[in-house]
A and B are shown apart, each in its own frame.
Chain A
Amino acid sequence: MSGKERASRGRGVPRLGRYALRAASLAVALGVWQLLTSLDIDLWLRFSQFPTVADVARTFADRLSGPDYWTDLTDSLTRILTGFLLAAVLGVAVGVLVARSRLAEDLLGPVLEVVRPIPAIALVPVAILLFPSNEQGIVFITFTAAFFPVLVSTRHAVRALTPMWEEAVLTMGGGRWRILASVVLPGALPGIFGGLSVGIGVSWICVISAEMISGQYGVGYRTWQDYTVVNYAGVFVGMVTIGVLGWLTSTAVELLGRRLTRWLPRTSYVAAGRSPRRVDRAAAAVPVSPTTREGVPHDQLV
């Protein structure tokens, strides 16, 4: 018990400090921006035409109370989530298939390798030709963007699995579906989440670009509209929105990944070794952590 208290106290105070530091970093950036723009600084880089933080904040507040902003937001989110989820499911499925079957590798490998280097955004003409509606085209581009990172990382993760795990399950009488469910998917999960993290980032880039080119509503479409009517504050509202949404979605992917791969041995060491100054306290906390974790049903994961 005393060990547990010590561990939480040791972690609690610096954690607060770290959040304060992060908030301060954002605040300083905004302060510098406000200063440069409100003083109309023109030193080679020209800030005189730039909207100030206050301008952007005012426009943001106006937008928030209007109906279009929320339509744009939900439209963009629907597109990216549809495309990304499709990419996650198909990327993992094809990745596992290609890694586990020589036939699938020979059949799909060459096509995939040729399509992979093409930037998803360069597929806009293809999307326009293929799909009856713009909406589907945008989802397609978002899907393609996330598909390849997920596919490639899944393939690598599946190939790197310890063969002993599979042999153990085989000698328990497990068949191929059991091996897929109990060995391949859980074992490849850390790698798969690497691909998903990259994929969600690339998806945002592509959904915004595709909306700028061919969208009806959506954050990218709105941002481009604002640019064409010289509403720079509006452009910045769009950029901030994209930034916050991107950050939220990748954090969600990150958290989910961390939750599902909590069994990885390294996670405990990352937590303990974060700050070298607290080494001895962290060392005292290590034997405690198994008991604090005991309530977590890891076996429910798989």
Chain B
Amino acid sequence: MTSSSDVRSPARTGAALALRGATLGRPDAPVLDGVDLVVTPGEILTLVGPSGCGKSTLLRTLAGLLSPLAGEVGQDGRPLTGPAADRALIFQEDALLPWRTLRANVELPLAIKGLPRAERRRQAAAWLERVGLAEHARHLPHRVSGGQRQRAQLARALAGAPRAVLMDEPFGALDAQTRAGMQDLLVEVLRGTGATVVFVTHDVDEALFLGDRVALIGSGRLTAVRDVPRPRDRSAHDDPARLALRRDVLSSLGT
């Protein structure tokens, strides 16, 4: 499946993101110190940690919305200077423009790229179809459910063909069932995009299901980065290696 989509868009590979000795936060309030992290092209890296630990700060820094207070942040070996279309950001909620229909929201990154109207329509329709929102394309965001809004955000972020997708607790406001469905949908729609994903969550099970690797954050620093056995495999939840990792993660977050 991956190979066929690679044929369709041979040029699209994920971005490599790196932080070296970075201090992150706002000038008056640094929250993370000495962060060294390399995100390899095409992987899904999940970031877990208690709320307020600086997960979002790290993500916003990778997006280019915040500059590091010290150290370096880079993409593909070059320093990162600001936000750009190849690093899409997905928020927890309410990031769709409320005056635009779902379709118009998905068309926005395409319009920014300067695609002609007909092409925008076509691609937006295809993305909405892919996330199961074809029926709701002409609805305003407040007319659809929270889960549907997040699907639309996913479609909007991916429509711009980013090389990295940065997700800030995107399913955090959803109920457990919708959340599991959204995780499956995410895995499904990411296929063939080749995009690197950094996924912030405070839900350990979500982090272990989605991530190739999981990074733990606590008490002002990045404490560990662990490989996840059998990622994105629903039947792996009782795999002994996975259970051991889960125990480790929980205990390290507990302290």
Docked CA distance A302–B83 (Å): 23
- Judge whether B21 is part of the interface by a CB distance below 8 angstroms: no
Contact between chains at A171 and B97 (CB < 8 Å): no
- Judge whether B94 is part of the interface by a CB distance below 8 angstroms: yes
- Judge whether A288 is part of the interface by a CB distance below 8 angstroms: no
Contact between chains at B103 and A173 (CB < 8 Å): no
Interface size on B, residues (CB 8 A): 33
* Contact pick for A302, options B64, B84, B99, B140, CB 8 Å: B99
Q: For A165, give the chain B residue with the smallest CB separation.
A: B97
Q: Which residues of A contact B60 (CB under 8 A)?
A: 167
Contact between chains at A265 and B98 (CB < 8 Å): yes
Q: Which residues of B contact A167 (CB under 8 A)?
A: 60, 63, 65, 83, 89, 91, 95
Contact between chains at A169 and B108 (CB < 8 Å): yes
Given contacts A168-B95, A298-B99, are A174 and B87 in contact (CB under 8 A)? no
Contact between chains at A298 and B113 (CB < 8 Å): no
Binds B, one of A26-34, A55-63, A182-190, A225-233: A182-190
Q: For B98, give the chain A residue with the smallest CB separation.
A: A263
Docked CA distance A187–B104 (Å): 15
Docked CA distance A263–B138 (Å): 12
CB contacts under 8 Å to A, within B135-170, are 138-140, 142-143, 160, 166
Q: Which residues of A contact B107 (CB under 8 A)?
A: 299
Q: Which residues of A contact B100 (CB under 8 A)?
A: 263, 298-299, 302
What sequence of 0s and 1s flags, for each residue 265-302 of chain A, a beta carbon within 8 Å of any chain B beta carbon?
10000000000000000000000001000100011011
* Contact pick for A170, options B65, B140, B160, CB 8 Å: B65
Docked CA distance A169–B85 (Å): 9
* Contact pick for B103, options A172, A187, A299, CB 8 Å: A299
- In the complex, given contacts A189-B99, A298-B104, what are 13 additional A-B residue pairs having Cβ atoms less than 8 angstroms apart? A164-B94, A167-B65, A167-B91, A167-B95, A168-B97, A170-B65, A178-B112, A182-B108, A183-B97, A186-B97, A294-B139, A299-B107, A302-B97
Q: Mark A residues whose CB is within 8 Å of B.
A: 162, 164-165, 167-174, 178, 182-183, 186-187, 189, 261, 263-265, 290, 294, 298-299, 301-302
26 A-B residue contacts at CB 8 Å? A164-B94, A167-B65, A169-B108, A169-B112, A170-B64, A170-B83, A171-B65, A171-B85, A171-B88, A173-B86, A174-B112, A182-B97, A186-B97, A186-B99, A189-B99, A263-B140, A263-B142, A265-B98, A265-B142, A290-B143, A298-B99, A298-B138, A301-B99, A302-B97, A302-B99, A302-B100
